[in-house]
Amino acid sequence: MISLIIPTYKEKENIGKLLFLICKLNLKDFEVIVVDDNSPDNTAEEVEKNAKKLPLKIKLIKRKGKRDLSLSVLEGFKKAKGEILGVMDADFSHPPELIPKMIKELENVDLVIASRKISGGEIKKWPLKRKIFSGLATFLAKTLVPKISDPLSGFFFFKRKIIKELKLSPIGYKIGLEIFVKGKYKNFKEIPFVFKDREIGKSKLNFKVILKFLFHILKLWFWKIKK
């Protein structure tokens, strides 16, 4: 089975449409696990409504307490039945139509990453300030995994075995980076995609998120040194 984890917070306007588009892909032996961080806009209720009407295996996990995207994804991994795991955002920055191609590539590799940084990839509609931050953040992340062009991608699929018996302890939003650094994969593939900024809702990027990212980088470096 293949399990796709979608973490959400205040994504009521997006999640229904996203689930519908995933359903239209007609993927076999496939489940979607939505992990909602106690959204105040009834995102969870929207998921439950779509789970009843769509011919798609949809699980809903309602997280309480401290909001954290990476912890939400880890919670999804625990409840997932699949030996192939995937992660994507709910805000349409990640195109669902790319999912079948990413899964197909896993026949030959252990990890598939949707990349904005290789030929054919692109980022649209980002202000200069965010482009500068992204460039600096990518530079820092690549010091940990220099062979991966887009180590901050949040859209990826992998074989569960690469995280077996690993202690994952991500901070903030970059669960992918945690897996790319610690994962026991022999090979990987990057597939280009065009990243489009969300059209509905607000970006979660703020100063607190940036501080968490920097702390995460430091933690991963200490892990590599001690390894």
Give per-residue burial for 56-74: e unless 16+ CB within 10 Å, then b. bbbbbbebeeeebbbbbbb
- Tell me the average pLDDT across 190-199: 84
Indicate the number of domains in the chain.
Answer: 1
Indicate if the pLDDT at residue 163 is higher than 90.
Answer: yes
Phi, psi of 214 (to 5 degrees): -65, -40
The tens digit of pLDDT for each residue in 47-101 reads: 999 999 999 999 999 998 778 889 999 999 999 999 999 999 999 999 999 999 9
pLDDT of residue 198: 60
CATH number at residue 57: 3.90.550.10
pLDDT above 60 for 202: no
Write the pLDDT tens digit of every residue in 16-28: 999 999 999 999 9
Q: How far apart are CA 102 and CA 104, in angstroms?
A: 5
Kindly report, residue by residue over 126-147, the tens digit of the pLDDT. Answer: 778 788 888 999 999 999 999 9
Which pLDDT does position 189 carry in this prediction?
A: 98
Contact 111, 145 (CB under 8 A): no
206 or 35: which leads in pLDDT: 35
Q: What is the mean pLDDT of residues 178-183?
A: 97
The mean-pLDDT minimum among 124-128, 174-178, 217-221 falls in: 124-128
Structure tokens at 143: 């010091």
Give the structural domain span for 131. 2-226
Given this model, what pLDDT does residue 207 score?
72
